[in-house]
Amino acid sequence: MNRAFGLWLALGLTVGTASANGASKIFDVRQFGAKGDGRALDTESIQKALDTAGKEGGTVRLTAGVYLSQPLTIRTRTTLLLEEGAVLKATDEPAHYLPAGVTWEKILDGTSKGPFQPFIGGKDLEDVTITGKGTIDGSGEKWWIPAEEARKKVSGYTLPRPNLIVLNRGKNIRMSGITLRDAPKFHFVPTDCDGVVIEDVRVIAPEEAANTDGIDPSISRNIIIRRCFIDVGDDNIAIKSGKKVPGREFAVENILIEDCEFRRGHGLSIGSEVVGGVRGITVKNCRFDGTENGIRIKSRRDRGGRVENVTYTGIVMTNVYPALSFAGYYQNSSQLKMLENDPAQPVTETTPMYKNIRISNLTAYSTKSAGLIVGLPEAPIENFVLENVTIHAQTGLTIANAKGLELKNVTVNVKKGEPFTVIRSEVRGLPAK
């Protein structure tokens, strides 16, 4: 953790709550004509309140009720407050989210990808807060069925759909207390943001809802995610760095994730897009129960980059499969035959390169394998340390293409086979057989 982030971390809560707790005007959406009856469209009334708050600075308030709305745009210097019992519910008509001339039929047949407008969006923002005890509901049920059908036809395919909340180029962004649920695709995507605090937020979607990531920080810096409960159909958290940012060595930097609970989902991921680089990720005191993966760094040769200085500590996992997944062969990493026979390829700007990763004080119960720590032959994983780690699993931990990997007080208890499989790697501290 660098000194600048440490200072921001110490001050972040004070700064992040300034817009919510300071003296500000209240703009009740009902005073702008909103019905909140779950039937009438309240889009125009809510947007007028948001526009007014953006001009004057203040809080847009939704009292108890169900507010049905088409996409909305949040403005700078605005707090969106959903009081207990308030539900801001998205319409599920594709035409509401697509540009003119693009139809849902074109999305389904693959002739267009959109773009889709998110349910709540905003650009070039400063001092924005989304808070309260209410719910933002993406009405995703209608979207998930064709998405799953498309994924069954083409493995790994993501059918384009709207995200729930996307904030671009924001500074001093805060989200607290609310529930996000049933997004058509991703729930919250802060993109190219600097200074984001996400606290005490619940993110919920069915396990079978395709691509419903919980929180996806993308090309962003200085982020705190704490005390969140995330139970979704894809990555619980996915840190993404899909492009290089001019003037920045790492597009994603300084993220703290602590005291979070992850239920169903695909675990806590970095990647698979890491072309812009990722540095300075700390994960502390988090619990995983029933996630498809535990902690994970995933990429492949066409979308990789540098991932450095990542620390995990105080992690407890139950019913995960697997516990650890660090691989440069995204979507192919379980194929040991490939690992043994894959020749080194030229290193490029999109080669996954993982370095300086530390896992300590982790206990895991996996229903399948202990996991993978697998680099590429041309880019081995470097300086990877596991300390005070205990994993109970059906099968063992595979280590391949690693250099300078060290085990300190590491136990892998398996029901079948060897606890460790080592391929083309330098490993210190392997337990004696």
Question: Could you give the C-alpha distances from 285 to 168, 172, 258, 305, 391, in angstroms and in order?
Answer: 29, 25, 6, 27, 17
Q: How far apart are CA 385 and CA 279, in angstroms?
A: 17
Q: Nearest to residue 339, comparing CAs of 368, 375, 293?
A: 375
> What residues contact residue 92 under an 8 Å CB cut-off, 6+ apart?
139, 140, 141, 142, 143, 184
The torsion angle over the Cα atoms of residues 95, 97, 101 and 105, rounded to 10 degrees, is: -60
The torsion angle over the Cα atoms of residues 15, 21, 24 and 25, rounded to 10 degrees, is: 140
Q: How far apart are CA 138 and CA 174, in angstroms?
A: 20
Q: Report CA torsion sign: 246, 247, 249, 254.
A: negative
**Hey, what are 250's tokens?**
């790492």
Q: How far apart are CA 129 and CA 17, in angstroms?
A: 8
- Select which of 182, 234, 235, 392 is catalytic: 234
**Hey, what are 175's tokens?**
């989200």
Is residue 96 part of the annotated active site? The answer reads no
Residue carrying structure tokens 């190219």 = 192
Is residue 127 part of the annotated active site? The answer reads no
Q: How far is C-alpha 307 from the geometric centre of its chain's CA atoms?
A: 16
Active site residues: 234, 266
